Every structure is written in structure tokens, then in C-alpha cells.
């Protein structure tokens, strides 16, 4: 901590002296805090402070400053009897969580300290009202629940919160958390996707919705918790009759308020039989009494890890569509891997990945996978990587070329919502285009590719009824209506080996096109647009000139007059009337 103080130097010392003088002028008593008191607040970065008595208030306050002072707000703590877990917005050692305001000490020291003390007194005065304590702690119940826990353990929930019925669920304990899911299979799949394998202990658990959030002070024993469970959870007696009181019981409760759904957890210890048979206990409905009066209770925090929460904090109106979507990604190279990752991050529920090649060391600079995946199959590596990061979705690797899996692919496309091809091999794309048109497959295909040196990027969505890929590419693989012209130099580089041509663009260039392709995919999946559609990204004019190229007349039709920066635009999707596909029609 002293190193951080010396880093701020004279400015810290100057404002600290000004604050000390202000306090001595306006407060009745001012005492510098001892090192022992300051240590209570070190987790907040506090390095200095004063104990002050206010002129018109009986409370004594700690006025605290951290190592970022005067660029950070002044902190306030309440001195005296602890109100932790009794009053809202009061943490350990009396630290007050106060609203921030527009004034920082470096901008106006007088206003900053005045506002902080005013907010502190307003909170203290408000907490004299039991109604305020109840309403405010209910509004932010997640901030306080589980803080009195003896174990400090945390639960993760992948439960379906759209189902409000009280029910038995699965709880498995890992080294770091308890995981709650709808069934053993759901939980095991999630853990396996995360790479957590082995014998994870399973516990009996209940999930239910309650109408009313808990208020401070929270229950320390099982009696109040059981009363909440029995009075607010529907069908609880029938569910409880399936439990054994002689084993630990885990309970997850969901509470909905104006800010969304929050989860809290409680653990009820096992009750020794002591001569009572389990059947007799359940027959006479003693389980409620035993749990309330004999079982020990411990609260714990539960964090949401379900797909709806992980992909948009339950505020993405399109999440359900994305979570129910299935995509086939053909090509897991520098562009395809990034697009697949973005789609997984967006919450797409199922992605099949086709790529027969292994990852080379020269590819990791612009690939999702890193050196740990080198010399392993791209499809396998990417599916494993995405499964670990997004375990609620399904990722299936197909480590062969699509031509060798054609029967499986055609069968899978019956429930597939989108095909994404980032192969960058025109001949292979032509073959795919002809195949899926001949089968009249309804699923649209989105093609993604980068132009010369990454100066442009394209996202092209086609259907079997739309213009074909041959309307865009000549048989040799060159665009019919190119945006760029690199005369006399294709910008293609080669390694000292046969068949090792590559374009020397980097990860930033791929990133622009990755987002272009991903946005088109997502827009199609959620119904914002439909195929056919063609979107193009173009770099700044200065960048293409530096690379020895120029814009074609075709491109200049779309570039705004006088604008030389990067931008995206749409091109019309028309039949060319010249290609073999058009002539055949």
C-alpha cells in the first residue's frame, strides 16, 4: 500500500491536507485513524482516514480515502455498534455503500465531502425506520443473502426459471461450487462440457418460486426458512414427502422483483434417525417439524448460470430464438473459428463444426484456438473449446470433409436453421452451392470471405432459389464485380513449400469481417432479415493505398462522396445472366 501512496506523490498529499483541514474546521472532533482501524478497510483500498464527531448528529463517522484519492470518491463508515446484516447498504465494520455523485475531490473538494456526509446521514436516519429497512433490503436481497454462511460456498444454477412449479432437482458438488440442474443428465452434461469429470457427490434438492423476498435481518435458523418454504411454495408437502430427512437437503428459491429474478439457497443438515424409521416420519408428516426444529440451517449464495442469463442477463429479447437454433459451420479456420465462437457467445444452442484439417502453428495468430491445440483437428479442438466456455450449448465436431459426410449432413439439415461456410476455396464453395440447390434445401447458406490483403470482407446469404454463387465468382475464383484492384500483384505470399499460399492479414482484419458475417447470421436467425442478402466491409482508402491497391468503379458506387474511412454497406443480390447457372435456367 505505501508504494501506491508514493505513486500519487504531492497531489495525494496536497488534497489529503486540504481534506484534513476541512474536517477540523467543520467537525466537532477529528482524530486520525490508527493503523489497526484502517486495516479493517484495506479490502476497499483505504490508506488513510479520520474519526469525526458531527455538530448536529449523535453518530460518529469514519471519513476514509483510498490510494486513488483525489481521483476517487471519499468513503464513509459508521463508527460504533455494528449494523452489518441489520441495515441495508451497511457492510462489515460499518462501511457504507453510498450513491456516487457528480463531484470528485479533484474537481471540488468541498462539494465532494459535503455530499458524502449528507448521503451517509440520510442513510443512517432512514435506517431508523423498520419499513425502510424491509423495503430496501427486499429490493436488493441478493446483496446480503449468504453473507452469514459458515462455509462461504456458492451455488450455480442452470435451472429452467420459466418453469415456476415447485419440484425436485439435481444438485452435484464440485470442488468450487454446487451445481443445480433439472436432472442428473443435464448436470452431468454441463460438467462434462466444462471438463469437470469424475465422481461428483449428488444431493437431494428442491427448487421453488416464492412471492416475497427476504428482508433483513435474515434467518439464522431453519424455522423461518422452513416457514417460508411451506407457506409460499406450491405443492411443497407432496414434494417434501419424497425426501429423506436423514440426508442433507438443498433448497434453491427464486424471487421475482422489479429488477428481475434472483436466487437464494439454503442447506438443511441431515437428521440422525435416533430410533425413528423414515417411513414413520413421513407417514405422520413429521418432516416439516423435524426440519424446522432439529435440522441446522446454513444460507448460501446462488448465481445464475443458465443460458438466458449468461447471454444477455435475461434482457435479450432474441435469446430464446438463438438458444433454440441449430447451425452448421463448414470450415473452422481463421474466419470460421471466430464466427463460430461469436455465435456461441451470442447464445446459439447447437453448432456442428466441419473441418478435416489440423491446426498449424502459423495459424494461431488469427485463430480462436491457441498453441495447445496445434497439430490437433480444428473441429475437435474448437468444439471442445466452446463446450468448456459455453457448457449449456451443444457443439458437435465432424473432423472430415463435408463431401465424405454428405449423407449425414443432408439428414442433419432437416432441422438446421443456418449453414455458415468460411472455407475460402471457390471450387469447393461452387460444389456446395450446386449440391444444396440440386437438393432444394430450404436452409440458407451464409458465405464469408476476406478480399485481397483483408481490405474488404463479404457476408453473402443465399438460398436455393436465389442467384447462385457463380453469379458472384468466375470459374477461376475471381469476383465478377470486385471492390479492389491490385494490378500486377495479387498480394498472395508463399512459404518455402508446395501449396502454402496465404494472405498476410492479421487478427484485427479478421475481426472486422468476423463481426460482419456473425451479424448477418444472427439477423437471419432472429428474423431481422432474410436471405438473399450481401453485406460488404471496406477498409479506409489510405489503408488500401498503402498496400498498393485502389478502389474499383464498382466499389465507388457505394462509397459516400468525400468519405475515405472504413464502412459497411449492402449490395443488391441479382442474377448475373452470364454464369453457367444462369444459362442453365
Of 157, 126, 158, nearest to 139 by C-alpha is 126
Q: What is the pLDDT, as a whole number, of residue 583?
A: 79
Cis-peptide into 78, omega within 30 deg: no
Cis-peptide into 389, omega within 30 deg: no
- Tell me the backbone φ, ψ of residue 448, rounded to 5 degrees: -130, 135
Cell output for 3: 508504494
Give the Å distances, CA to CA, from 61 to 33, 103, 352: 11, 20, 60
Q: What is the pLDDT, as a whole number, of residue 1?
A: 45
Looking up cell 447470421 gives 521
The b-or-e profile of 104-131 (16+ CB within 10 A means b, else e) is bbeeebeebbbbbbebbbebbeebeeee
Collapsing DSSP to helix, strand or coil, 44 comes out as helix
Q: What is the pLDDT, as a whole number, of residue 153?
A: 83
Q: What is the pLDDT, as a whole number, of residue 503?
A: 59
- pTM score, two decimals? 0.87
Looking at residue 391, what DSSP letter applies? T
Q: In whole angstroms, give the CA distance from residue 51 to residue 55.
A: 13
pLDDT below 70 — which residues of the chain? 1-9, 198, 274-286, 488-507, 585
Give the Å distances, CA to CA, from 551 to 41, 204, 491, 534, 568: 61, 66, 15, 18, 15
How does pLDDT run across 407-447, given as a tens digit for each residue?
Answer: 889 988 989 999 999 998 999 999 999 999 999 999 999 99
Q: What is the pLDDT, as a whole number, of residue 199?
A: 73
Q: What is the pLDDT, as a whole number, of residue 140?
A: 93
Cell output for 497: 513449400
**Alpha-carbon 128 to chain mean position:** 39
Cell output for 321: 430464438
What is the gyration radius of the CA atoms in the chain, in angstroms?
32
List beta partners, residue 303.
156
Contact between residue 429 and residue 447 where contact means Cβ atoms under 8 Å apart: yes
Q: What is the pLDDT, as a whole number, of residue 505?
A: 61
Amino acid at each position: 500500500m505505501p508504494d501506491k501512496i508514493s505513486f500519487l506523490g504531492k497531489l495525494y498529499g496536497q488534497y489529503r491536507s486540504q481534506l484534513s483541514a476541512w474536517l477540523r474546521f467543520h467537525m466537532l472532533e477529528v482524530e486520525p485513524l490508527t493503523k489497526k482501524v484502517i486495516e479493517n478497510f484495506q479490502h476497499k483500498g483505504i490508506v488513510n482516514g479520520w474519526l469525526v464527531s458531527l455538530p448536529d448528529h449523535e453518530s460518529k463517522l469514519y471519513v476514509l480515502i483510498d490510494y486513488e484519492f483525489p481521483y476517487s470518491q471519499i468513503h464513509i463508515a459508521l463508527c460504533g455498534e455494528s449494523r452489518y446484516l441489520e441495515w441495508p447498504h451497511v457492510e462489515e465494520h460499518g462501511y457504507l455503500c453510498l450513491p456516487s455523485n457528480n463531484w470528485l475531490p479533484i474537481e471540488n473538494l468541498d462539494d465532494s465531502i459535503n455530499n458524502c456526509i449528507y448521503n451517509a446521514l440520510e442513510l443512517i436516519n432512514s435506517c431508523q425506520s423498520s419499513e425502510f429497512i424491509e423495503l430496501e433490503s427486499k429490493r436488493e436481497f441478493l446483496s446480503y443473502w449468504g453473507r452469514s454462511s459458515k462455509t462461504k460456498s456458492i451455488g450455480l444454477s442452470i435451472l429452467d426459471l420459466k418453469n415456476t412449479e415447485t419440484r425436485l432437482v439435481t444438485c452435484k458438488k464440485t470442488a468450487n461450487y454446487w451445481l443445480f440442474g433439472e436432472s442428473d443428465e443435464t448436470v452431468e452434461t454441463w460438467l462434462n462440457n466444462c471438463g469437470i469429470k469424475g465422481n461428483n457427490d449428488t444431493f437431494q434438492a428442491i427448487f421453488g418460486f416464492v412471492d416475497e423476498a427476504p428482508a433483513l435481518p435474515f434467518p439464522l435458523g431453519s424455522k423461518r426458512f422452513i416457514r417460508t418454504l411451506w407457506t409460499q411454495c406450491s405443492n411443497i408437502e407432496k414434494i417434501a414427502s419424497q425426501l429423506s430427512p436423514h440426508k442433507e437437503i438443498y433448497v434453491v428459491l427464486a424471487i421475482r422483483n422489479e429488477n428481475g429474478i434472483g436466487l437464494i439457497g439454503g442447506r438443511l443438515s441431515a437428521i440422525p434417525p435416533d430410533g425413528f424409521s423414515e417411513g414413520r416420519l413421513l407417514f405422520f408428516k413429521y418432516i416439516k417439524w423435524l426440519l424446522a426444529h432439529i435440522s441446522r440451517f446454513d444460507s448460501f449464495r446462488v448465481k445464475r448460470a443458465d443460458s438466458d442469463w449468461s447471454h444477455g442477463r435475461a434482457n435479450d429479447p432474441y435469446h430464446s430464438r438463438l438458444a433454440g437454433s441449430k447451425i452448421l459451420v463448414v470450415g473452422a479456420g481463421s474466419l470460421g473459428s471466430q464466427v463460430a465462437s461469436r455465435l456461441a457467445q451470442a447464445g446459439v444452442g447447437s453448432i456442428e463444426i466441419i473441418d478435416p484439417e489440423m491446426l498449424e502453428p502459423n495459424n494461431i495468430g488469427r485463430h480462436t484456438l491457441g498453441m495447445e491445440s496445434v497439430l490437433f483437428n480444428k473441429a475437435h479442438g474448437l468444439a471442445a473449446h466452446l463446450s468448456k466456455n459455453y457448457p449449456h450449448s451443444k457443439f458437435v465436431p465432424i473432423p472430415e470433409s463435408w463431401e465424405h459426410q454428405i449423407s449425414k449432413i443432408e439428414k442433419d439439415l432437416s432441422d438446421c436453421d443456418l449453414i455458415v461456410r468460411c472455407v475460402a476455396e471457390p471450387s469447393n464453395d461452387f460444389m456446395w452451392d450446386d449440391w444444396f440447390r440440386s437438393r432444394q434445401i430450404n436452409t440458407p447458406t451464409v458465405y464469408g470471405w476476406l478480399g485481397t490483403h483483408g481490405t474488404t470482407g463479404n457476408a453473402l446469404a443465399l438460398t436455393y432459389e436465389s442467384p447462385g454463387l457463380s453469379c458472384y465468382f468466375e470459374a477461376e475464383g475471381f469476383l465478377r464485380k470486385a471492390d479492389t484492384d491490385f494490378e500486377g500483384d495479387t498480394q498472395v505470399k508463399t512459404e518455402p513449400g508446395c501449396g502454402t499460399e496465404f494472405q498476410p492479414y492479421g487478427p484485427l482484419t479478421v475481426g472486422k469481417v468476423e463481426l460482419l458475417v456473425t451479424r448477418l447470421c444472427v439477423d437471419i436467425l432472429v428474423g431481422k432479415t432474410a436471405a438473399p442478402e450481401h453485406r460488404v466491409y471496406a477498409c479506409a482508402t489510405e489503408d488500401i493505398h498503402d498496400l498498393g491497391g485502389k478502389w474499383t468503379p464498382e466499389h465507388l458506387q457505394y462509397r459516400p462522396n468525400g468519405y475515405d474511412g472504413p464502412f459497411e454497406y449492402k449490395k443488391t443480390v441479382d442474377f448475373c445472366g452470364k454464369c453457367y447457372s444462369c444459362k442453365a435456367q
